[in-house]
Structure 1
Amino acid sequence: MSSLSLLSRPPLSSTLRRHHHRHTTTTFTTRRHLTIKSFSAPTPIQPLTQDDLKKLAADKAVEYVKSGMILGLGTGSTAAFVVSKIGELLSSGELTNIIGIPTSKRTQEQAASLGIPLSILDNHPKLDLAIDGADEVDPDLNLVKGRGGALLREKMVEAASDKFVVVVDDSKLVTGLGGSGLAMPVEVVQFCWKYNLIRLKQLFDQEGCEAKLRLGDDGKPYVTDNMNYIVDLYFETPIKDAWSAGKEISKFEGVVEHGLFLDMTTAVIIAGKDGVSVKSK
């Protein structure tokens, strides 16, 4: 089997125009119409933890939510802060008439416990907004998602949304997808999973890719909400062409979905030690 080896895209240029004022808000636009806004934060007495950063980003993301919306509710530690904040605003009456479409059983349980009205894509095939976390974000706002195991439902819900807002802390920023050295997941059917694991590894041989079946805490294969397995791909260097990689992975019979979320993002909210910034297209 031939392996995939394609040239990487050139990096984005930066800072075409810049404005400063006393609230230290900065805006600049790349040549691909990427806009970045930074919001300063007071210097904390104690350093912010990763959970503190996630909560800051989640609170900013919820500002996109308006009463009457149908919302995609993401999965994972950062998305859990978003769901919690939405539940809080519904309880106080600041938000009304919200319907949530959860991307996992885990999120469904959390949202239901907070009194968020829930439905499914079958009943609401067009969503106003989805908010979710990400495992990696590249300079073009493409993502790796799915280390929480919900990539299929996440992609379905977020593809059905008019806007998709991503919330992360700055540790999730990479120069190229796969660049963190952590897992890029591929959901596969249980039948002959090893056959697909071998094919996925061969596809990326020139990238020094390692492929592993994801295991649960009990040492048995991890099973998704859709009763599938996950093969995690680990790259020594960033994926050279994520678009081609996604297409090639999807060609394999028995592959259900992959964790490359390409050209789906409306905005990424990033929390760092200097405050919260928003990157948008």
Structure 2
Amino acid sequence: MTQDELKQLVGQAAADYVNANVPEGAVIGVGTGSTANCFIDALAATKHRYRGAVSSSLATTTRLQSHGFKVLDLNEIDSLPVYVDGADEIDHSGAMIKGGGGALTREKIVASVSDVFVCIADTTKRVDVLGQFPLPVEVVPMARTAIGRRVTALGGVPVVRVTKDGAPFITDNGNEIIDIKGLKIGDPRALEAQINAWPGVVTVGLFAGRGANLCLLGTDTGVETIQYPRD
């Protein structure tokens, strides 16, 4: 199967999971990226079951609304039974690197209030040690250089994310992203806490303190369901 076919496979599996486990009238949380888009497309057939969705990005909001979903502000809801999103990497504990699409801050906010975090990914995203995919860090622009020095001291290589025309990539929150290359992340929770404590960091794209509860992993033989114990 191609990677696109695997994404469609896990998108449908996530829609089936949500339809089977989330009560009618609930609000669902939806992530950002091509795999999350496959989930949105698959869930559209049963959108009438849900009061609406909380979106992690402007792009996801547009996708949801194009299918007729009502998009709610997180401040308008009391509970979020499930959050479905992809990952750039996921390890065997359910810790992830996310943020390749630039929506890491809103993704982390929505994930933090969900009861169940369902990661949807293909087998290329499962790794033994996080870090081959560059680790995104959303930063306040004035802190970019200072945070870059801290990254270098960690042994990483900071690269400011840019658009196709060479301008700094700007997140939905008006900030910039530094992608850290060259790290082998043996303790994702510790590194997440360390980087989040740096002044000027908005969010680091490590999802370890709040990792996945469940991964629906697309393989050539079907969808593998992996459960992760959470504290």
* Same fold by TM-score greater than 0.5: yes
Given the alignment of the two structures, is residue 246 of structure 1 paired with residue 197 of structure 2, yes or no? no
Give the secondary structure class of the aligned counterpart of 1:252: coil
| Post-superposition CA distance 1:1-28 (Å, at most 9, x none) | xxxxxxxxxxxxxxxxxxxxxxxxxxxx
2:199 is matched by which residue type in structure 1? E
Partner residue in 1 for 2:143: 192
The equivalences for 1:216-255 within 5 A come to 216-235=163-182, 238-255=184-201
Detail structure 1 runs of 4+ shifted over 3 Å in the superposition.
none
Q: Deviations over 1:127-146 (max 9, x none)?
A: 11110000001011111100
Q: Work out the percentage of aligned pairs sharing the same amino acid.
A: 34
Q: What corresponds to 1:85 in structure 2?
A: 42
Alignment CA distance shift 1:139-1:219 (3 Å)? same
Contact 1:69–1:129 (8 Å) recurs in 2: no
TM-score (norm 1): 0.77
Counterpart check, 1:280 vs 2:231: no
| Kept in 2: contact 1:165–1:266 (CA 8 A) | yes
1:58 aligned residue: 11
| 2:64 corresponds to | 111
Matched, 1:212 2:159: yes
Name the counterpart of 2:101: 148
Partner secondary structure for residue 10 of structure 2:
helix
Aligned to 2:84: 131
In structure 1, runs of 5+ residues without a counterpart are 1-47
Give the CA RMSD over aligned residues.
1.2
Cα drift, residue 71 of structure 1: 0.5
Mapped pair 1:264 → 2:215: no
**CA–CA distance in structure 1, aligned partners of residues 40 and 76 of structure 2:** 21
Find the aligned partners of 2:81 and 2:223 in 1 and give their Cα distance.
24
* Cα pair 1:105 1:225 within 8 Å, conserved: yes
2:134 maps to a residue whose letter is A
TM-score by length of 2: 0.93
Q: Is the 8 A contact 1:159 1:264 kept in 2?
A: no
**Retained in 2: the 8 A contact 1:269–1:277?**
yes
- Kept in 1: contact 2:12–2:43 (CA 8 A): no
Question: C-alpha deviations, 1:43-86, integer Å up to 9, x for none?
Answer: xxxxx110100110111111222322211111000000011112
Could you say which structure has the larger radius of gyration? 1
CA displacement, residues 76-118 of structure 1 (integer Å, 9 cap, x when unaligned): 000000111122222xxxx423310000000001101110011
Q: Which residue of 1 aligns with 2:25?
A: 68
Structure number with higher helix proportion: 2
Q: In structure 2, how many angstroms separate the alpha carbons of the residues matched to 1:192 and 1:239?
A: 23
Alpha-carbon distance between aligned partners in 2 of 1:125 and 1:252, rounded to the nearest angstrom: 31
The number of aligned residues is: 223
Distance 1:217 1:70 in 2: 36
Q: Which moved more, 1:162-171 or 1:124-133?
A: 124-133
